[in-house]
Amino acid sequence: MLDNRFASLLSGRYFANVVRPFSMRERLKISGFTNLFSLQTRRPEAIRVMNDYLQWGGFPETVLHEMTDDVKTELLQSYYDSIVLKDCVAYSRIRDTELFYRLLHFLLTNVGNIFNYSSLARSLSSNENTVRNYLSYASRSYVLADVTNFSWSLKTGSRAEHKAYCIDNGLMNAISFRFSSQKGALLENAVYNELCNKGYADITFVKNNRECDFVARKDGCFHAFQVCSELMDQNSLREQQGFKCLTGVTETASYTIITFNQHEEIDGVQVLPFYVWAMKG
């Protein structure tokens, strides 16, 4: 059940628990990786598990059962259609279903890209209120998450910029085949979901003259994250300088750059492979 249906179906007190697809850490444990040492001794296999997770996500049926890629795609597409039709269109009584599908497809094929309601409405030939409402319906149904830029103010106008992320990489891939070659977008989407799985709260991004991909709070402290498929001479400085946009914005306890398979420390910034970072607490 979705949380907005509890009040009408249940009486008295209740505890709401969000059940998400398998996290990367859980996916590793299913494959026999129980600690960081096992990741180091079986690194090639760990990388294969990570690549599989980035492409097919963590829905239990696709993880626990052997099936062809075509069957996985068909299964994930059926999940998507069921969620959209039952939890979004039918429950929220959406009239313009064609616009709603176009909105979802646009956002899920542009995960991690910055947008605002007015520009999104113009690109879809709609209006800002409709886009705002439709995005809210999709977020409440856990199809995607609407992430806003960091602000100490609670006013809506101070959070004009947004990013969208899908609840599961496999779901995103199933409705947009072009993502198979966009490793950076797949990695960033997976990192967002892993932040949720790890219990980080108030997940936002910061954008001024530079951009920091994620700023999130845990145990009373803010932590900053950059996502980069591979650090090279051409982009290493840019990724590190992205943390500088936090100066004067918030106190930050740690800085981490998450990559596919690089592990080092640069001037106090931890550079970690996604599978290693996921296994850490």
11-41 confidence digits (pLDDT tens): 667 677 888 999 999 999 999 999 999 999 9
Residue ranges per domain, the chain? 20-279
Confidence at 154, pLDDT banded by 50, 70, 90:
very low
pLDDT digits (tens, 9 = 90+) for 184-237: 899 999 999 999 999 999 999 998 888 899 999 999 899 999 999 988 888 888
pLDDT for residue 177: 57
Q: At what angle do helices 97-108 and 128-140 cross, to 10 degrees?
A: 70
Q: Taking residues 67-71, what's their average pLDDT?
A: 93
In whole angstroms, give the CA distance from residue 215 to residue 105: 26
pLDDT for residue 150: 82
pLDDT digits (tens, 9 = 90+) for 77-89: 999 999 898 888 9
Residue 20 DSSP symbol: P
Phi, psi of 175 (to 5 degrees): -105, 0
Radius of gyration (Cα) for the chain, nearest Å?
Answer: 19
Among all chains, which residue has been given the structure tokens 């950059």? Answer: 226
Q: At what angle do helices 183-197 and 43-56 cross, to 10 degrees?
A: 90
Look at residue 6 and tell me whether its pLDDT is greater than 70.
no
Residue 93 DSSP symbol: T
Confidence at 174, pLDDT banded by 50, 70, 90:
confident
In whole angstroms, give the CA distance from residue 49 to residue 51: 6
In whole angstroms, give the CA distance from residue 76 to residue 74: 6
Among all chains, which residue has been given the structure tokens 């100490």? Answer: 152
- Record the pTM: 0.91
Q: Taking residues 145-150, what's their average pLDDT?
A: 91
Structure tokens, 225: 């994250």
pLDDT for residue 180: 47
pLDDT averaged over the chain?
88
In whole angstroms, give the CA distance from residue 222 to residue 242: 15
Confidence at 2, pLDDT banded by 50, 70, 90:
low
